[in-house]
A and B are shown apart, each in its own frame.
Chain A
Amino acid sequence: MTIRIVHFINQFFAGIGGEEKADHRPEVREGAVGPGIAFKEAFGEEAEIVATVVCGDSYFNENMAAAVDEVISMMENYRPDLVICGPAFNAGRYGIACGAVAETVVNRLGIPVVAGMYPENPGVDMYKKSAYIIETSKTAAGMRKAVTPMARLALKLARGEELGSPEEEGYIPRGIRKNQFAAERGSKRAVEMLLKKLEGEEYTTEYPMPVFDRVAPAAAIKDIKKAKIALVSSGGPVPKGNPDRIESSSATKFGKYSLQWLDDLNPGNSETAHGGYDPVYANEDLDRVLPVDVLREMEKAGEIGSLHEYWYATVGNGTSVANARRFATEIAKELNVAGVDAVILTST
């Protein structure tokens, strides 16, 4: 069966016009248009470009949410097996449009996407995790060179074949960590790497050190005696019996538990679900992880406004940053709705 492909390009590559036509609204045309002709040749009999969706760069970037919806629904009508975006080379707005379409296609239609961009195109950093982006030259002079690996990768993905390394396939590494068995054991690779480093020879680290986001600090609390304070913890404090069965490592969920009627945590009412530290002390007295006793006393004495009636807990042991970010987003949303002013987050 022929693989059905929909191609996404901008107004310039569709031959509509340059900057003066950049507000062109999404439209769909049957078959291959512009660079699609070169793809058609590369695919031969195996795949067919059934439609091309065109959108102006300015229109897309100024109306991102609406434009994405329009583009995707046009694509959907053609029941594609795969989508190709660009190549966008070093055109920034075109790259972002390609990336946004690619990400949405993957999430909404659940089919693979191949895009093409110059590594410094801002679309690369924004969307490389979602789509395979083939590395291209800066300008459209490199069209031929871009089409060959894009078409080859597209066919492989559509057939569900195993991919080679980013270098072999020509795509920009997405930063997705994937296990594989190496030819030599880790200790031997370490010795080799050290010898190279000592000699001043070139070597490649197997894991570039991570970089984390930053957020602006929140404003200070004006009157703590009126503030509603919530407790959140990654130390795994849960009611006795771990009712949500939060995992001891690599948590996939968080729990929300009522503090009503609780003035003190003890082995009768609570425990830790965390598998990454010696649990004996936490299980003896969970206030050591989640300081309910002291905060209750402060609440009664009027030293704080109130203690929020729920605490939130997860296990921060081997839990991915992606999961942690998702928990935080959901917890923050609920705390906002509940009118919580400040959070004490405890970690083990």
Chain B
Amino acid sequence: MVHVCTIVPISLTVGANRIVPAVAIPHPLGNPSLGRDDEKKLRRKLIEKALNALQTEVSGQTVFE
């Protein structure tokens, strides 16, 4: 499992092992101030990061910046 979330400290406190920092609480995988295409590109980048995290061996809690 990979946890995509904005408030990384909470994720670390509650014990997620693979963490990908997200954009903001009300829109973790988007940014309303961008245009539609740019916003989707941003989302794709975050997902790619999440998929990369899933394919990486970790020994403990790891944040994929």
Contacts and interface: CB of A to CB of B under 8 A. Distances in A.
Contacts of B2: 342-345
A78 interface: no
Q: How large is the interface on B (under 10, 10 to 19, 20 to 34, 35 or more residues)?
A: 35 or more
Interface residues of A, number: 41
A203 interface: no
Contacts of B26: 277-282, 348
Given A217-B17, A281-B26, A342 B1 contact: yes
A214 B12 CA distance: 10
A303 B30 CA distance: 21
A287 B39 CA distance: 10
Given A281-B30, A281-B32, A343-B1, A294 B43 contact: yes
Contacts of A289: 27-30
Contact of A212 (B13, B46, B58): B13
Interface string A39-64: 00000000000000000000000000
Contact of B15 (A214, A279, A342, A347): A214
Nearest to B16: A345
A277 B24 CA distance: 10
Q: In the complex, which of the residues A288, A297, A348 has the most CB atoms of chain B within 10 Å of its own CB atom?
A: A288
A143 interface: no
A297 B48 CA distance: 12
Given A343-B2, A344-B50, A345-B1, A288 B29 contact: yes
A227 B28 CA distance: 24
Nearest to A291: B29
Interface string A293-318: 11101100001100000000000000
B44 A347 contact: no
Nearest to B50: A344
Interface stretch (A98-106, A177-185, A218-226): A218-226
Interface string B39-65: 110011011001100111111101000
Nearest to A220: B57
A281 B27 contact: yes
Q: In the complex, which of the residues B5, B7, B28, B60 has the most CB atoms of chain A within 10 Å of its own CB atom?
A: B28
Interface in A258-303: 277-282, 284-285, 287-291, 293-295, 297-298, 303
Given A288-B29, A346-B5, 18 more contacts: A217-B18, A217-B62, A221-B54, A222-B55, A279-B26, A281-B26, A281-B32, A287-B29, A287-B30, A294-B44, A295-B47, A342-B1, A344-B4, A344-B47, A345-B3, A345-B5, A347-B5, A347-B7
Interface of B: 1-7, 11, 13-18, 22, 25-30, 32, 39-40, 43-44, 46-47, 50-51, 54-60, 62
